[in-house]
Amino acid sequence: MKLYRRYILYISICLGLLISPFCSGSAEAKDFVVVIDPGHGGHDPGAVGKISKEKNINLNVALKLGKQIKKNCPDVKVIYTRDRDIFIPLDRRAEIANNAKADLFISIHTNALAKNRTAKGASTWTLGLAKSDANLEVAKRENAVILYESDYKTRYAGFNPNSAESYIIFEFMQDKYMSQSVHLASLVQKHFRQTCKRTDRGVHQAGFLVLKASAMPSILVELGFISTPEEERYLNTEAGTTSLANGIFRAFLTYKREQEIRLNGSSNTILPEDVPEPVQEEGNAATATPEKKNAPQAESNQAAQRPQRSENAAVSQTEQSGIVFKIQILTSSRPLAKNDKRLKGLKDVDYYKEGGIYKYTYGASPDYNKVLRSKRSITDKFKDAFIIAFKNGEKINVNTAISEFKKNRNK
């Protein structure tokens, strides 16, 4: 009897090991889940132009984006909040993403201006407090969709999309996915600019209810201005919508690859082309996330590894004791050769690794003003370059470093 019990116990343990996630041979990796949200729909047309409605443009681009992802990424599960012309309540859109335990939420919209004003270009938005009246107006327009819901006062706790006072709630929000969202938004804008040749209107923050309710990195894309005749025509062409979907798709691929490298040390995601990653200037309210005291750090904000010197780089000063300022010029998923054209002839180039990404820098000095002058001298080559700082070989907040530099200079 004892032998029988031991046999049963042995079989139970083996079965447990077979179904355990630690048994790599029997457990498949979780799919990467992306939820694509075509804004508006059904009896909510969104912004209306002379020849089209926003809801149809959004859906067209969203379906093309999803099709590209499905075709090229078998390990990605694509979920649409809507795949036809129907109305979906705003909170239901975020609920779909949350229930799917999505890794990304991409909401697609089309911009508009009132009173026959015109503008051109695409922008990408993340959750946050609007820093200008113009940003607030964009959020008001997109949030006004809740007015199509008969019980919106109950469902959204008395939120009034047309009242500036209602947006105060976003001032005190702490979004742990903010850093990842801003990074993805920056990638989208890079590809709108470089791949789609669109006017780059930048990365912005505002209080979007659909982003507030989503529990994952989330962005809202404004494809262009339906209120501008030239833009509206572009947004209704096959070439235009295909190009925009392709731009978002390339940004998605880059983001996914970076996350896989960060989490697993490697990635099977293949990028269509290897191009330098423009980086956003820290502290720029239009493109970066303002720091909040005691705000939880996003998952992607890992501590940078100590800077490493490439055999192709000039002697680095980053490992000096004390504070050293450098200029970050581009990033790459792999080391660059000395004569790589993306370095544009610069000689005093170094790199450090952060989150599995090689981040290339130019120059190094404890004198902030000297580095600032160097940055201005390469603006024509690297318009998105920005200054970073290290202390005793560890990356630190550049504003903290500048304050310390000023304090030491005044001694």
pLDDT digits (tens, 9 = 90+) for 79-133: 999 999 999 988 899 899 999 999 999 999 999 988 778 889 999 988 876 555 6
Share of the chain above pLDDT 70, in %: 69
Helix (H) or strand (E) holding 278: none
The answer to whether the CB of 363 falls within 8 A of the CB of 371 is yes
**129 inside domain:** yes
Domain-terminating residue out of 244, 262, 280: 262
Domain-terminating residue out of 262, 279, 307: 262
Grade residue 302 by pLDDT with cuts at 50, 70 and 90.
Answer: very low
Question: Does 326 share its domain with 202?
Answer: no
pLDDT per position as a tens digit, 131-165: 556 655 766 666 666 666 666 656 665 666 566 55
Q: Is the dihedral of CA 39, 154, 214, 125 positive or negative?
A: positive
Question: Does 239 share its domain with 332?
Answer: no
pLDDT of residue 85: 96
Provide the residue range defining the domain that includes 389: 321-406
- What backbone phi and psi angles, to 5 degrees, belong to 121? 110, 170
- Statement: residue 343 has pLDDT above 60: yes
Supply the pTM of this predicted model.
Answer: 0.56
Average pLDDT over residues 226-250: 95
Question: Does 331 share its domain with 217?
Answer: no
Question: Does 346 share its domain with 235?
Answer: no
Enter the tokens of residue 55.
Answer: 């809801």
pLDDT of residue 306: 42
- Alpha-carbon separation of residue 304 from 203, 314, 320 (angstroms): 24, 21, 16
pLDDT per position as a tens digit, 277-286: 333 333 333 3
Q: Bigger pLDDT: 307 or 340? A: 340
Grade residue 22 by pLDDT with cuts at 50, 70 and 90.
Answer: very low
Number of folded domains in the chain? 2
Average pLDDT over residues 34-38: 97
